[in-house]
């Protein structure tokens, strides 16, 4: 529809003088949209009054304002362009304002982080997480407001919005998206799931993580992995190699004249022979030439790995030069672990409580002490120390230990049998637990039950998942010939099913899954344990008990 503005001279004769000439100004709108046109001086307010009378010669400024869901396209007739229109009334004048209906522009909001909250919009349309996408007329100013749930801090905006304020104002001109991140809070955790796999060092597993970040678009950050992946790259670490004049079955005699250093290198196999992580070997790993020195040179890994293979050649060991100790894996080998380590909190400082093998370290895991044991205790010799499970029980917190029954000879419902494959039975408390059918059934259950609990929101406050030793899914390097070949990807794949079950279940919102490895297993790491001669004071002996079974 086009309305025509006509200025007409209205005259009258008087006695001795003539009245000032008046001109009429009529404004019309055109197009598929709606809007208003007003004048200065007042007289036109179209769509209510589209004709105004003004004294001839008056300068009139017309302003067009589009309605919601419309756009002002411009003037025609006596005006042109898309700004304000100025008309000097001297004759009949026609002005047309054209408005078109606006096409809705999509605005999407997504929620990120481990917390909880909502995002709403003004004008209304978005109420996320229920309704996270809405259409707004082009040019609309939209205010997004983030409201974190109780206890969850708002971390900030990304995408079309930025900053850490809870409100974001943006003008919608094209399809766009904004992300609101809500952080989690440790104070809100109701479930902690802990799992310690077997015998891997940080450099051996995650030393190449910085390379993975660069290859996969993750922001770089300070990180203490293998030096060759630093920015800029550092020197590739080495350990002294074996003496070529001392072949098997002689000892490696690493670092002797004529020996060649063994560099850190990418392993091409998922299975490696087990280096020995026991007390004596771990102290050689720490300092090849002086095991009682306060200085940790971290240069004996090749020596101990080579000597372990040489001592066990009759059992099928073949790595007589100990090369495997300097090998590492990367993101192509451990893609699930590398992705998780890049998206969740990851520590680059791994230290075992005892510089020795699995059993004493898992005693520490359960009770913060091995009561002096650096080797497995003798049969029927049980530790009297209280365990964390007793502390949880005394505090009124629920707990369970989950055991994979594969190759154990236990059924999923035989809790007393399953308990034999947990470190809890090294303690007097564990023996008492086994002897009480109702208590052991309540607290020691199968990995099948874990999957049910995680999927159905029935997890305890604290859960310990034991490694699947019998199924060769514990990631322990292969013990030749008695142990099944252990593929790291099989172990990582198993862990992924446990984590994913939790993440897809109702308890994930208030849960933490903590994954670690019980000790380094004789595999290279460049970070020395803390010593009194370093800038950081040595931590005290956790239980104050010196080794008593060396």
Confidence of residue 6 (pLDDT cuts 50, 70, 90): very low
Report DSSP letters for 507-545, one per residue: TGGGEEEEEEES--TT----SPPP-TTSSSPPPPPSS--
What is the average pLDDT across 198-222? Answer: 96
Task: Enumerate the domain spans of the chain.
Answer: 22-101, 104-187, 194-517
Q: What angle do CA 101, 6, 20 make, to 5 degrees?
A: 135
What is the average pLDDT across 521-547? Answer: 75
Q: How many residues does the chain have?
A: 550
For residue 502, pLDDT beyond 60: yes
For residue 137, pLDDT beyond 50: yes
For the chain, give the percent of residues with pLDDT over 70.
94
**The pair of three-digit structure tokens given for residue 279, joined into one six-digit string:** 């007390």
For residue 535, pLDDT beyond 70: no
For residue 338, pLDDT beyond 60: yes
pLDDT at 484: 66
Q: Return the beta strands (E) in 329-373 as ranges.
A: none
The CATH code for residues 104-187 is 2.60.40.1140
Of the candidates 538, 232, 493, the residue with the CA atom closest to the CA atom of residue 340:
493
Q: Please give the torsion angle defined by the CA atoms of residues 353, 354, 358 and 359, in that order, rounded to the nearest 10 degrees.
A: -100
For residue 4, pLDDT beyond 60: no
**Which of 44-58, 91-105, 339-353 tops mean pLDDT?**
339-353
Of the candidates 374, 356, 217, 174, the residue with the CA atom closest to the CA atom of residue 276:
356
pLDDT at 134: 93
Give the span between the Cα atoms of 236 and 261, in whole angstroms.
11
For residue 18, pLDDT beyond 80: no
For residue 184, pLDDT beyond 70: yes
CB 254 within 8 A of CB 306: yes
What is the average pLDDT across 72-80? Answer: 91
For residue 2, pLDDT beyond 60: no
Q: What is the mean pLDDT of the chain?
A: 90
CB 157 within 8 A of CB 125: no
What is the average pLDDT across 503-510? Answer: 93
The alpha carbon of 459 is separated from its chain's Cα centroid by a whole number of angstroms, namely: 22
**The pair of three-digit structure tokens given for residue 101, joined into one six-digit string:** 């209906």
Per-residue pLDDT tens for 390-445? 999 999 999 999 999 998 999 999 999 999 999 999 999 999 999 999 999 999 99
What is the average pLDDT across 116-140? Answer: 92
For residue 125, pLDDT beyond 50: yes
For residue 83, pLDDT beyond 70: yes
Would you say the C-alpha torsion 532, 537, 539, 545 has a positive or negative sign? positive
Confidence of residue 264 (pLDDT cuts 50, 70, 90): very high
Confidence of residue 540 (pLDDT cuts 50, 70, 90): low
What is the average pLDDT across 346-358? Answer: 92
């Amino acid at each position: 529809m086009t309305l025509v503005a006509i200025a007409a001279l209205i005259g009258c004769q008087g006695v001795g003088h003539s009245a000032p000439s008046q001109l009429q100004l009529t404004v019309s709108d055109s197009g598929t949209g709606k809007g208003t046109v007003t004048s200065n001086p007042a007289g036109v307010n179209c769509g209510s009054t589209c004709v105004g009378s003004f004294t001839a010669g008056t300068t009139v400024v017309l302003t067009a304002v589009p309605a919601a869901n419309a756009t002002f396209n411009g003037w025609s007739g006596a005006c042109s362009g898309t700004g304000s229109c100025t008309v000097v009334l001297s004759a009949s004048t026609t002005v047309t304002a054209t408005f078109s209906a606006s096409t809705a522009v999509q605005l999407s909001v997504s929620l990120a982080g481990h917390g909880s909250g909502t995002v709403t919009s003004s004008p209304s349309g978005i109420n996320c997480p229920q309704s996270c996408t809405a259409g707004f007329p082009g040019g609309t100013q939209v205010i997004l407001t983030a409201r974190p749930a109780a206890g969850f801090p708002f971390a900030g905006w990304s995408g079309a919005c930025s900053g850490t304020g809870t409100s974001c104002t943006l003008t919608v001109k094209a399809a766009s998206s904004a992300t609101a991140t809500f952080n989690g809070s440790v104070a809100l955790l109701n479930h902690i799931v802990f799992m310690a796999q077997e015998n891997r060092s940080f450099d051996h597993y995650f030393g190449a993580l910085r390379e993975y970040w660069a290859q996969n678009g993750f922001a770089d950050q300070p990180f203490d992995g293998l030096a060759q992946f630093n920015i800029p790259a550092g020197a590739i670490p080495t350990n002294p190699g074996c003496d070529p004049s001392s072949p098997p079955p002689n000892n490696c005699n690493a670092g002797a004249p004529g020996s060649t250093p063994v560099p850190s290198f990418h392993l091409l196999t998922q299975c490696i022979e087990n280096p020995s992580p026991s007390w004596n070997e771990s102290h050689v790993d720490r300092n090849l030439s002086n095991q009682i020195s306060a200085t940790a040179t971290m240069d004996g890994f090749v020596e101990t790995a080579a000597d372990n293979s040489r001592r066990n050649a009759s059992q099928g060991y073949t790595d007589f030069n100990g090369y495997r100790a300097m090998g590492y894996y990367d993101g192509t080998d451990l893609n699930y672990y590398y992705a998780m380590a890049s998206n969740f909190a990851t520590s680059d400082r791994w230290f075992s409580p005892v510089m020795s093998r699995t059993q004493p370290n898992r005693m520490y895991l359960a009770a913060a002490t091995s009561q002096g044991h650096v080797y497995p205790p003798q049969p029927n010799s049980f530790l009297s120390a209280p365990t964390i499970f007793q502390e949880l029980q005394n505090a009124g917190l629920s707990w369970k230990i989950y055991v994979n029954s594969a190759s154990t000879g236990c059924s999923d419902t035989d809790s007393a049998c399953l308990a034999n494959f947990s470190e809890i039975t090294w303690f007097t408390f564990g023996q008492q637990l086994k002897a009480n059918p109702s208590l052991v059934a309540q607290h020691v259950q199968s990995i099948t039950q874990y999957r049910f609990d995680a999927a159905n929101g029935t997890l305890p406050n604290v859960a310990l998942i034991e490694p699947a030793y019998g199924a060769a899914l514990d990631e322990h390097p292969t013990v030749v010939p008695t142990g099944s070949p252990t593929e790291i990807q099989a172990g990582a794949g198993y862990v992924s099913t446990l984590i994913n079950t939790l993440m897809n279940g109702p308890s994930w919102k208030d849960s933490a899954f903590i994954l670690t490895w019980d000790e380094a297993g004789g595999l290279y790491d460049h970070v020395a344990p803390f010593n009194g001669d370093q800038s950081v004071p040595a931590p005290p002996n956790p239980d104050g008990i010196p080794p008593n079974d060396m």
